[in-house]
Amino acid sequence: MRRISESKRKRIFEIIQIGLKEDAPSRAFDFFIVAVILCNIAVLLLETFDELAPYHELFHIIETVTVLIFCVEYALRIWTADLLYPGEKKGKAILRFLFSFDGLVDLFTILPFFFLSGFGALRILRAARIFHLFRINTQYDSFQVITSVIKEKRNAILYAVFIILVMILASSLCMYSVEHAAQPESFRNALSGIWWSVSTVFTVGYGDIYPITLLGRIMGVIITFLGVGAVAIPTGIISAGFVEHYTRLQKRDEVEEYKKSTASVLVEENSVFVSRTIREAEEMQQLVITALIRDGMVVTPENQIRIRPGDILITMRM
């Protein structure tokens, strides 16, 4: 009985995880949960329109149904957590799942619906369900690519962020030095210009705080140009990381395709290849001989070379 239960539990685990194309029930569950996530997000957005107030009761019903589905999925993931982390004990595996990204997103998706509806400030946690969209993204390797690139380039990104922070502090201090006397209410101290410097470095300012002296305006123009360059640094690093990553993936795919399309053939005494030239063997078997290994050495497969017993042919289908 226990063996049957374990086999069923393993099957449920396979279904609720991202499925293979060959596993129809698992793939169907993936599409179903994606549809539920999209419905839940759509209701969350539509509830904010006053024009749709007559439909709010319908929206609440849809939200209730989708959240209940999330609850069932969450319970199943907790039940099968030890299969997700096979090297851990069951209790530790459950804790590991609960504090994982998926576990926290699932929890913060469910909790506001049941417990936080009366707390206006805490209803912001409902926005956590938007992170369920990452579940859709895991159908592909896009999210993994992003995290891989950030991990690979984290040192360069941190250094670029450090440069931006230094620029913000330096521009705030400089602007205080030239603008404090002219507008002490806006630039009261060395740190009061951080809002201005952040809005200038990352955008073109919001107009609430701005320099009025000639020197301050000149510095503002210079800082704006420097900010454009500084913000472009992490963007360029991440872009280069994506290019490198996809180049590696492309090369790996090319190697895998080459491995699939190539084969090695050991020529035996009674083989049809014996005494035939490379050209004759290729025409007879409808293949391309890309290399010939003879006596442990790689020989260029020229058309006139005759094949001997013991040779190893590296072939590729036409």
Domain borders along the chain are 2-139, 154-256, 267-317
pLDDT of residue 267: 87
From CA 211, how far away is CA 204, in angstroms rounded? 13
Phi, psi torsion values for 263, nearest 5 degrees: -155, 155
Domains 154-256 and 267-317 alike in fold: no
C-alpha–C-alpha distance, residues 203 and 120, integer Å: 32
pLDDT at 198: 80
The C-alpha atoms of residue 220 and residue 196 are separated, in whole angstroms, by 10
Per-residue pLDDT of the chain (318 residues; tens, 9 = 90+): 455 577 888 888 888 876 666 778 888 888 888 888 888 888 888 888 888 888 889 988 998 898 899 899 999 999 988 888 888 888 898 999 899 878 888 887 787 777 655 444 445 556 666 666 665 555 455 666 777 788 888 888 888 888 888 888 888 888 888 888 888 888 888 777 787 778 777 765 556 677 888 888 888 888 888 877 877 888 888 888 888 877 877 777 666 666 666 777 888 888 888 888 888 888 888 888 888 888 878 877 788 888 888 888 888 765
Q: In this structure, which amino acid lies at residue 174?
A: C
Fold of 2-139: Four Helix Bundle (Hemerythrin (Met), subunit A) (1.20.120)
| Structure-token pair, residue 75 | 């319970």
DSSP state of 127: G
Residue spans of alpha helices (H) in the chain = 2-16, 24-46, 56-79, 81-84, 90-98, 101-115, 133-137, 142-152, 154-179, 194-202, 214-261, 278-285
The contacts found for 64-69 with CB under 8 angstroms, 24 or more apart, are 64/113, 66/36, 66/37, 66/39, 66/40, 67/40, 67/109, 67/110, 67/113, 69/33, 69/36
Of 85, 45, 87, 38, which Cα lies nearest the Cα of 66?
A: 38
Please give the pLDDT value at position 224. 80
What sign results for the dihedral spanned by CA atoms 282, 285, 289, 295? negative
Give the type of residue at 201: V
CATH number corresponding to 154-256:
1.10.287.70
Q: Closest Cα partner for 18 from 142, 107, 137?
A: 137
Residue type, 273: F
The predicted structure's pLDDT at residue 78? 92
Lookup result for tokens 């024009």: 51
Query: Under CATH, which number does the domain 267-317 receive?
Result: 3.30.70.1450
> pLDDT value at position 58?
92
CA dihedral sign of residues 165, 166, 172, 175? negative
